[in-house]
Structure 1
Amino acid sequence: MIESLLVANRGEIARRIIRTARRLGVRAIAVHSEVDADLPFVREADEAVCVGPANPAQSYRNTEAILAAAESTGAQAIHPGYGFLSENADFARTVEASGLIWVGPGADAISAMGDKINARNLMAAAGVPVAPGTTEPAADLTAALAAAGEIGYPVMVKAAAGGGGMGMGVAADEDALRTEYDKVRAFAERMFGDGSVLIERYFPRVRHVEVQILGLADGRVVALGERECSVQRRNQKLVEESPSPAVSPKLRERLLAAAVRAGEAVDYRNAGTVECLLVPGTDEFFFLEMNTRLQVEHPVTELVYGLDLVEEQLRVAAGLAPTFDPDALSPRGHAIELRINAEDPKRFLPGPGVIKTWVEPTGEGVRVDSGYVEGNTVTPFYDSLMAKLVVYADTRPEAIARARTAVADFALAGPKNNLPFFTELLDNQEFTAGTYDTTLITRMR
């Protein structure tokens, strides 16, 4: 097993990784920005290094400072968490070139899946269903209009280098496409340094279902069930659950097999997620993208499969066999995750501030992965996620009931927060029936 691990992240996910590392006897090293110095993950690490000011470009995305911290602390490996540098192929290559262990997939796999057009083409060649769309970037508006005419409106306009729900727009006709194409291209150039745009068929009513995969050290790729992620605002997830109430046993078999093929197509190692769009009322699904990292929502898979995915990541990176038998995977029960964000519960606009009250719910089947405690300040420099409230029970109705109680018992004051939204959602008929899709929040609002 790896002996010392630098966690190149912050908040909830850094704390989560440090917890597993310390359980395994691995020395945990935190890096932090100046503004994060008082957060729990810094105190809970065996050692901590400040890598710069609040601006992520000068701290959590500062590759030189992070590598210097690894060298000065004698770190053997780097875990990037999610966000920041987690899907940066150049950083992964640099880490390995420095003689360190990269806890994630190989840089080539990250590169292959980082470009959405390239990823679509690779998946199609591997027999994974993809939605009708362009096989090369739409070089200009004329090319975009021609592609949309062939695909059929409405279309999704996507930044090829985008991710996390960013860099997307929907066009219902030519006039809308003219606007969205320029808007997405400009955003992509500004945010990702790559203005490449793809045009893809847009499905007005769709479910977002993803499969957790794990590429093992021996070369095998295994699928650890699916997660339903359709409760979204602005194409970003708020709730995840496993298993999906929309996936039948036969569909699950096809979905998981396709995810394994996707991983095998890029010689995948470590944890990753194959995201798909599922057309409601049918067994038709399409590849959306592959996230080459640990997902925010990994706890629901952990609870249903009884695994610690961070431990499995460390074992793969160290060249060790998994803790489980890949041929005898046996999911049980139902898990639901609610993302507790510092944001307005109506319009979902950020609302940072000092946490005056923070009392987490407890009890059977309740897990809270948090990045803050009472007295901490949620700053505007980073993602608004404060904690993940995860519940587990034998059945979905029992899990929903447990979630209602947990939300009511979560005492939080100071920053704006979306707990009131979850109170509303957990009583929503579409959600409780399991018939919802990605437009649910729009209809609720």
Structure 2
Amino acid sequence: MFSKILIANRGEIAVRIIRACKEMGIATVAVFSEADRDSLYVSLADEGVCIGPPKVQDSYLNMAAILTAAVQTGAQAIHPGYGLLSENARFSRLCRECGIVFIGPSPELISLLGDKDTAKRTMREAGVPVVPGCELVQDEETACREAQRIGFPLLIKARAGGGGRGIRLVEHLENVPGAFQAACAEAKAAFGDGACYMEKYLKQVKHIEMQIICDHFGHVVCLGERECSVQRKNQKLLEESPSPFVTPELREQMARAAAAAAGAVQYRNLGTIEFLVDSERNFYFMEMNTRLQVEHPVTEMVTGLDLVKWQIRVAAGLPLGFTQEEIALSGHAIECRINAEDPANNFLPSCGKISLLHIPGGPWVRFDTALYTDYVVPPYYDSLLGKLIVCAQTREEAVRKMRAALCELVIEGVTHTAELQMEILSDPEFLDGTYTTGFMEKRGLLC
């Protein structure tokens, strides 16, 4: 087992990883930008190293600075969290070259599955259903020709996309050239890779993801599904597990497909297979995320497993301590993301000093955050303030528990989305579980 781990991330996920390491008796190193010098995770870590100015390009994406910090502090492994460098194959490869364990899959797997076009071909060959579409498109003329073959509406998607960037919805042929150019340009700016492909846009679908974990001894375990259909511009706002839409039969089918997907590439560590599911409960592979997901706490709540600890154990070469037959979902969990944004003002980001903070409590209520009173929310990073998670015996009880927790949550000093989450939880379509990825748009909350 590792004796020291460097956390190459910030905010609530850095706090989350540090807590897991403390419980495992592992020393931690926090890296931070000048803007994050007074952050909670920095004070919780055993050591801290400043790696640059506030901008992510100069700090949290500065591979040389992070690796230098790891070598100088004697860290044996790096946990990348989510976002930032967590799915960067070059960073994973550099870790390996420096003799440092990257807590995640190999650079080869990250490259393979990060290329969404190649990933879809791989899954198709493994017998996993995929959304109808085409492979990489080289120019506007080809895009128009393929669009006519696929049919409208369709999505133009970046090969290296993520977080909703590099995606354009197209409903008419005349809009294809402009949308193709825009998607390629956005992908090039965001990921350094402007390659795009196209696929059929499935309306009224559910976004369901299956959590898997695989060790180095060939064991693949599926930890059930998460319902992620409440989204704004392809960014998830609320997640729950289990999905109110997934039947036991469908769960078993999707778990088998997820295991087949993992087996097809000999996957290692934690991963998530994302599917789109139509009204007839047909499911289609969308992508695979080769990292810890933001919404991992709902899976932890219903399985009783600490996913961060198991990531670390697997990376250290230990076998899984459980089998597929031992996994049983218990209760119902919901996670609400609380973002520093103003829903009444086009979701304008908010920053400033936290003048008052009260975190909800009670049985099976959890708030993953890096906030504290007088903390200054900086303008440079993701707007996530924290994740409020609850678990109860039934979905109805979980909804009531989440409403109570949201009512108790107090964050003053910045504008945030807690009231929006209350609206979502009170909507009849959410309550009956029939909501789809178009839920927010139908309510005029997509702007």
The TM tier, using the shorter chain, reads: over 0.9
Superposed CA deviations along residues 366-422 of structure 1, whole A, max 9, x for unmatched, are 001002111111112110001000000011000000000000000111111001101
Superposed CA deviations along residues 8-46 of structure 1, whole A, max 9, x for unmatched, are 000000000000000110001110101001111000001
- 1:378 and 1:324 mapped to 2: Cα distance? 40
Aligned residues with identical type, % of pairs:
49
In structure 2, the partner of 1:320 is: 318
In structure 2, the partner of 1:175 is: 174
Correspondence 1:335 to 2:325: no
In structure 2, the partner of 1:206 is: 205
Find the residue that maps to 1:222 and give its secondary structure: strand
- 2:303 and 2:351 mapped to 1: Cα distance? 35
In structure 2, the partner of 1:401 is: 400
Contact 2:34/2:54, CA 8 A, preserved across alignment = yes
Contact 1:154/1:201, CA 8 A, preserved across alignment = yes
Find the residue that maps to 2:31 and give its secondary structure: strand
Correspondence 1:21 to 2:21: yes
Find the residue that maps to 2:43 and give its secondary structure: helix
In structure 2, the partner of 1:60 is: 60
In structure 2, the partner of 1:386 is: 385
In structure 2, the partner of 1:125 is: 125
State the number of aligned residues.
Answer: 443
Superposed CA deviations along residues 330-353 of structure 1, whole A, max 9, x for unmatched, are 110100000010001333221122
In structure 2, stretches of 5+ residues that fail to align are none
Correspondence 1:305 to 2:298: no
Q: 1:220 corresponds to which letter in structure 2?
A: H
- 1:326 and 1:334 mapped to 2: Cα distance? 20
Correspondence 1:370 to 2:366: no
Q: 1:78 corresponds to which letter in structure 2?
A: I
- 1:352 and 1:444 mapped to 2: Cα distance? 26
In structure 1, the partner of 2:86 is: 86
Contact 1:96/1:102, CA 8 A, preserved across alignment = yes
- 2:188 and 2:318 mapped to 1: Cα distance? 41
Alignment of 1:235-254 (within 5 A): 235-254=234-253
CA-based RMSD of the aligned residues comes to 0.9
Find the residue that maps to 1:275 and give its secondary structure: strand
In structure 2, the partner of 1:356 is: 355
Alignment of 1:212-227 (within 5 A): 212-227=211-226
In structure 1, the partner of 2:49 is: 49
Superposed CA deviations along residues 134-173 of structure 1, whole A, max 9, x for unmatched, are 13x1100111111111111111011111112211011111
TM superposition shift of 1:193: 1.5
TM superposition shift of 1:194: 1.4
TM superposition shift of 1:327: 3.1
Correspondence 1:286 to 2:284: yes
TM-score (norm 2): 0.98
Q: 1:81 corresponds to which letter in structure 2?
A: G
Q: 2:300 corresponds to which letter in structure 1?
A: E
- 1:315 and 1:206 mapped to 2: Cα distance? 36
Superposed CA deviations along residues 414-438 of structure 1, whole A, max 9, x for unmatched, are 1110011011111110111111011
TM superposition shift of 1:190: 1.5
In structure 1, the partner of 2:270 is: 271
In structure 1, the partner of 2:110 is: 110
Correspondence 1:152 to 2:151: yes
Contact 1:312/1:323, CA 8 A, preserved across alignment = no
Q: 1:390 corresponds to which letter in structure 2?
A: I
TM superposition shift of 1:329: 1.0
- 2:69 and 2:162 mapped to 1: Cα distance? 28
- 1:195 and 1:68 mapped to 2: Cα distance? 30
Contact 2:222/2:324, CA 8 A, preserved across alignment = no
Contact 1:345/1:419, CA 8 A, preserved across alignment = no
- 1:165 and 1:288 mapped to 2: Cα distance? 13
In structure 2, the partner of 1:234 is: 233
Residue range with higher mean Cα deviation, 316-325 or 23-32: 316-325
Find the residue that maps to 2:160 and give its secondary structure: coil
TM superposition shift of 1:324: 2.9
